[in-house]
A and B are shown apart, each in its own frame.
Chain A
Amino acid sequence: MATIVPSIACLGVIGRNNNPLHLTILPSYNPSSASAITSDPEKQQQPATTISASTTASSAATGASPLRTPLQFSLLLSSTLDIFELRARAHAASGTGALSGDLGLLCAVDERLACYGYETNTGVRFVAVVDMRGRLLDPTLPSTTLIHGAIPETDRSSGGGAGNTGAAGGGAGTGTGTTGDDTSGLVNLPSLPPLSGIGILSPTSSSTTVTTSSSFIPGTSSRKPSLVASIASASTGLRDAELKPLFKAMQTSWVRLLQNPFFDLDEHVLPGGRGGRKITSKKFGEDMRRLGMGWIPGVGGFEGF
Chain B
Amino acid sequence: MAAVELHEIEKSFGSTAVVKRLSLEVKEHELLALLGPSGCGKTTTLRMIAGLERPDRGVIRLAGRLVDDGKEFVQPEQRGLGMVFQSYAVWPHKSVFENVAYPLQLRREQNVEAKVMEALGWVRLSALAQRRPHELSGGQLQRVALARALVGRPKVLLLDEPLSNLDVALREELRGEIASLRATLGTTMVLVTHDQGEALALADRVAVMNKGVIEQLAEPDVVYREPGTPFVAGFVGGANVLEGVVQDGRFIVEGQSFELPPRTAVTPGPVTVVVRTEDVAVGGTGPALTLQAKLFLGSTTEYRFALGQQVLRSTGPAIDGLKPAQAAAVSFRAVRLFAR
A and B physically associate: no
